[in-house]
């Protein structure tokens, strides 16, 4: 979902910036755990709004920066791959990344001069990578959201009967295979 479609969101510019100065002041190997809960829509970037965000974070002081390990639960508005309606798709993922505090480490994520890290680019990347290409289905191949089968949609638009008659024997084999699996 883009900002044009959704007006009531919080900008992540400040919400996902975390000061890690306290962990950098501790000995290497020191850790700290925290939780972040944002129950309202959150603008992560110009092309991504999260409907909510729950994070469990573990920050560890490493030799060249801070290792951020986390578990995220969120949902995004996306299109159902079957009916093309907008649906809230839940996403859950784990992540681990090093935020470098010096320039010797080759990583796109850095601790800035004020000892802050910005989780927004990392969360954007991980969220987009974890959005499934096809809407999840159950064991009967029905969409978990619209509860429709892809074959039903094709049949509804008259596309399933346009199959070349020479393939009718293959269709009957597929039908028989489906019957034996049930």
pLDDT 10s digits, 8-18: 777 877 789 99
How many beta carbons lie within 10 A of that of residue 24, not counting itself?
17
**Residue 159: pLDDT over 80:** no
* Nearest Cα residue to 44 out of 121, 128, 132: 121
* Residue given tokens 């991980």 in the structure block: 126
The chain-wide mean pLDDT, for the chain, equals 85
**Residue 6: pLDDT over 60:** no
State the pTM of this model: 0.75
- Average pLDDT, stretch 47-54? 91
**Residue 96: pLDDT over 80:** yes
> Residue 122 and residue 114: Cα distance in Å, rounded?
19
């Amino acid at each position: 979902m883009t900002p044009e479609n959704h007006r009531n969101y919080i900008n992540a510019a400040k919400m996902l910036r975390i000061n890690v100065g306290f962990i950098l002041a501790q000995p290497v190997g020191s850790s700290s755990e925290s939780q972040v809960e944002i129950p309202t829509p959150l603008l992560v970037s110009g092309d991504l709004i999260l409907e909510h965000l729950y994070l469990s974070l573990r920050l560890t002081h490493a030799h060249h920066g801070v290792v951020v390990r986390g578990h995220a639960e969120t949902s995004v508005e996306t299109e159902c791959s079957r009916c093309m309606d907008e649906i809230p798709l839940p996403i859950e993922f784990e992540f681990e990344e090093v935020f470098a505090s010096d320039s010797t480490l080759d990583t796109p994520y850095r601790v800035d001069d004020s000892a802050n890290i910005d989780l927004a680019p990392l969360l954007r990347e991980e969220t987009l990578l974890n959005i499934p290409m096809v809407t999840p289905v159950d064991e009967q191949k029905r969409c978990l959201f619209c509860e429709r089968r892809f074959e039903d949609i094709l049949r509804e638009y008259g596309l399933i009967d346009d199959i070349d008659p020479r393939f009718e024997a293959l269709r009957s084999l597929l039908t028989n295979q489906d019957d034996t699996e049930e």
